[in-house]
Structure 1
Amino acid sequence: MENSELEKSKTFIIVEILEYIPNSVVIKTILRKTTGNVNVVSFDSGEAMTEKTSPFDTFIQVIEGKAEVIIEDKANILDTGQSIIIPAHSRNTIKANVRFKMISTVIKSGYEDLV
């Protein structure tokens, strides 16, 4: 897995920076900062991320294909162009019934005011 950011001030086509790899979930970092990160992720058909929880909200946007995003046992089907926010501290998993690509954005700052 590559953790380096993309080159700044250089244009790119988001769906083309990451390929599908058979039987894999592939993650490419767009930006990684202490205050949050942006990744593009490709899922081959039949693949899934392990169920997890995060202390931060996570914004998911499908950029190609169709994803199943399960939040607290409720399934949400997202088509290309659709988005969802996974609330902080919610059990969630992301599944590929068909292959798809998505952008995942986590912003870690701003939670200080909620304490």
Structure 2
Amino acid sequence: MENVEIEKSKVFIIVEIIEYIPNSIVIKTIIKKTTGNVSVVSFDSGENLTEKTSPFDTFIQIIAGKAEIWINDISQIIETGESIIIPAHSRSSIKANERFKMISTIIKSGYE
């Protein structure tokens, strides 16, 4: 799993900076700060992130394909161009019924 921050002041195409790897979830950091982070993530078909609870809101935007996102036992299918906010303190998991890419943004400030 590669996790190197993207070079600043350089134009890039977000969907092209991350590859699909068979049987894997790949995460590439765009910005990482103490107040939050932005990552681009690719999921191969059949992969998933196990259920977790975050103390912060998480903004998810699908940039290629289709994801199944579970929030507090409710499943939603999110497609390319669609977004969802996973509320802080909610149980969530993400499943790839087919491969997809997403941007994940976590904002840690405002919860003091």
* TM-score normalised by the chain length of structure 2: 0.98
Structure 2 match to 1:24: 24
Q: Offset of 1:50 from its aligned partner?
A: 1.1
More strand as a share of residues: 2
The amino acid of 1:27's aligned partner reads I
Q: CA RMSD in A?
A: 0.7
Distance 1:17 1:78 in 2: 21
Establish whether residue 84 from structure 1 lines up as the match of residue 84 from structure 2. yes
SS in 2 for 1:50: strand
Matches within 5 A, 1:1-115: 1-112=1-112
Deviations 1:10-59 (A, max 9, x none): 00000000000000000000000000000000000010001101000000
Q: Offset of 1:73 from its aligned partner?
A: 0.5
Distance 2:47 2:17 in 1: 20
Distance 1:10 1:109 in 2: 27
Distance 1:71 1:4 in 2: 29
Unaligned stretches of 5+ residues in structure 2: none
Q: In 1, are the aligned partners of 2:61 and 2:103 still within 8 Å (CA)? A: yes
Distance 2:60 2:20 in 1: 18
The amino acid of 2:2's aligned partner reads E
| Number of matched pairs | 112
The amino acid of 2:45's aligned partner reads S
Q: Offset of 1:3 from its aligned partner?
A: 2.8
SS in 2 for 1:15: helix
Q: Offset of 1:111 from its aligned partner?
A: 1.4
SS in 2 for 1:55: coil
